[in-house]
Amino acid sequence: MKTLIANGLILLYDESGWKTAKKDILISGNRIERIDDALSAEGCKVIDASGELVMPGLINAHTHAYMTIHRNCADDLAFFDWLDKVQKIEDSMTEEDVYWTTLLAIIEMIRSGTTCFVDMTIKSAQEMSGPKSAAAGAVRDSGFRAVISRGLAGTSDSEESLMKYGQAVREMEMFRNESRLSFIHGPHAPYSCMADYLRKLTQSCRDRGIGQTIHLSESLAEMDGMEKEHGMTPIRYVDGLGVFDVPVIAAHCVYATDADLRIMAEKGVSIAICPKSNMKLGNGFAPVKKMMDAGVNVCMGTDGCGSNNSLNMFSEMNAAALVYKGADRQAQDVSAADVLKMATINGAKAIGLEGQLGIIREGATADLILIRLNEPQFIPANNILSGLVYSSNGSETDTMIVDGKVLMEQGKLTSIDETRVFKEIRKMAARLNTSAASDA
């Protein structure tokens, strides 16, 4: 059966920028078949979007979904102290734990308008069925969309690194026929991956026709360490190893220099900014205006709940549109239109699906959200873009469609048992003693 979204205000994008139009949307299979006035509802499931904005689903270009278990348990710590605290919890997590924590992340993302995320996780699924199928299984079972990477560190010949790499490759093969799932490699960072391992992973990307994601230039400690050890910035270092010779999403890049940005623009690297995480960990403010001016594809992520506490991309857009203005003391920097594009169109480009996700047009994949406009924060409706970025909090998300299928309708989830997920997470938190993590 086809789906008709009727009577809605549609958020569209073309070469002139963002605009809205009163149109109907006809969905056939997982594609937008037609956008026009007063389309026939015959033979269709009809979703009445009266009083709502129909817009592309948001794309979270950098997160660690399993870290929902770390929410509110390792706060107000310096970066490497924070890393040590969360690592203690992660060391005790199982494949099944990752499944449930990822489902919790997906619930939060559905309820706040995100339809796709790029994940760096800690376990790879090693079986297709049952609850022990880690992040990939959670995405498959929920009907959501994700690009998954296993976080990898170490050297190319260490037993542990080889084991984790082998598990990651096995997972890719197991889930290769899942249309909403794709995989990339996830070298953690240049300070945790030795040069030989970065070269090995990059060659594996070439062999498999995939990309990779990596944390880069996130903290001053990282910058100082790389300068002392290698005499260059982390970005120059990994470029010299060939990391940027395959598609790359670089997370954070808070301390990217002008020369770094020229390299990244030339190599087609996408940067996933994470403003709230960077502020919370005291890492500073990325040079986002310089990134944009250099021609880098800037997308946006929340990072994990351990360093953000939230996976709400509307909140992240709001932070991005405000903090960089303040950091640069320029009210015109990083506009509402800019950050909305980062969270949609640019995110789609980063994962190789430009023109298919992050945009509403005929032929595109039907990953859509419906936003209630009859809320106090949207009244009066002087400027929809401003409302989405400066006023919305994400709770206005009423209905979500991913790959042509309804995952939430009028606030009710259709593919996940929230009560079961919450129960499993509470049991897990007690077992892992997460409430004591910040006091350990």
How far, in Å, are 6, 69, 143, 343, 426 from residue 114 at the CA level?
22, 19, 13, 9, 24
Please tell me the pTM assigned to this model.
0.96
Task: Work out whether the CA dihedral 301, 359, 397, 150 comes out positive or negative.
Answer: negative
pLDDT at 200 over 80: yes
pLDDT tens-place string over residues 329-383? 999 999 999 999 999 999 999 999 999 999 999 999 999 999 999 999 999 999 9
Q: Kindly give, in sequence order, each residue whose CB lies less than 8 Å from that of residue 124, ignoring residues fewer than 6 positions away.
A: 134, 136, 150, 164, 167, 168, 170, 171
- Return d(Cα 268, Cα 243) in angstroms, integer: 12
**Residues 297 and 344 sit within 8 Å (Cβ to Cβ):** no
Looking at residue 78, its pLDDT comes to: 81
Which domains does the chain possess?
2-56+368-413 (2.30.40.10), 58-350 (3.20.20.140)
CB-based burial, 19-54: b 16+ in 10 Å, e otherwise: ebeebbbbbeebebbebeeebeeeebeebebebbbb
Looking at residue 79, its pLDDT comes to: 78
Q: Best-predicted range by mean pLDDT among 52-56, 158-162, 432-436?
A: 52-56
Q: What is the mean pLDDT of the chain?
A: 95
Cα three-residue angle 359-312-33, rounded to 5 degrees = 20
pLDDT band, residue 131 (cuts 50/70/90): low
Task: Work out whether the CA dihedral 292, 389, 286, 349 comes out positive or negative.
Answer: negative
pLDDT tens-place string over residues 406-426? 999 999 999 999 999 999 999
Smallest Cα–Cα separation from 98: which of 72, 119, 73, 80? 119
Looking at residue 315, its pLDDT comes to: 98
143: left (phi over 0), alpha (psi -120 to 50) or beta: left
Looking at residue 42, its pLDDT comes to: 95
pLDDT at 440 over 80: no
Looking at residue 276, its pLDDT comes to: 97
- Return d(Cα 370, Cα 79) in angstroms, integer: 37
Top-confidence residue, 367 or 92: 367
Question: Which DSSP string do the residues of 117-136 spell out, in sequence order?
Answer: EEEEES-----SSSS--HHH
**Residues 268 and 245 sit within 8 Å (Cβ to Cβ):** no
Long-range contacts formed by 385-388: CB under 8 A, 24+ apart: 385/18, 385/336, 385/337, 385/340, 386/336, 388/53, 388/55, 388/314, 388/317, 388/336, 388/340
pLDDT tens-place string over residues 138-190? 999 999 999 999 999 999 889 999 999 999 999 999 999 999 999 999 999 99
Residue 113: how many other CB atoms lie within 10 Å: 26
Top-confidence residue, 242 or 128: 242
Return the minimum-mean-pLDDT range out of 35-49, 75-89, 165-179, 202-216: 75-89
Residue 23, beta-bridge partner list: 8
Report which secondary-structure segment, H or E, holds 371.
Answer: strand 368-372
pLDDT tens-place string over residues 218-233? 999 999 999 999 999 9
Report which secondary-structure segment, H or E, holds 32.
Answer: strand 31-36
**Residues 13 and 342 sit within 8 Å (Cβ to Cβ):** no
**Residues 252 and 283 sit within 8 Å (Cβ to Cβ):** yes
Looking at residue 439, its pLDDT comes to: 45
Q: What percentage of residues in the chain have a pLDDT greater than 90? A: 89
- Return d(Cα 355, Cα 385) in angstroms, integer: 20
Question: Which DSSP string do the residues of 281-343 spell out, in sequence order?
Answer: TT-----HHHHHHHT-EEEE----TTTSS---HHHHHHHHHHHHHHHHT-TTSS-HHHHHHHT
Q: How many residues does the chain have?
A: 440
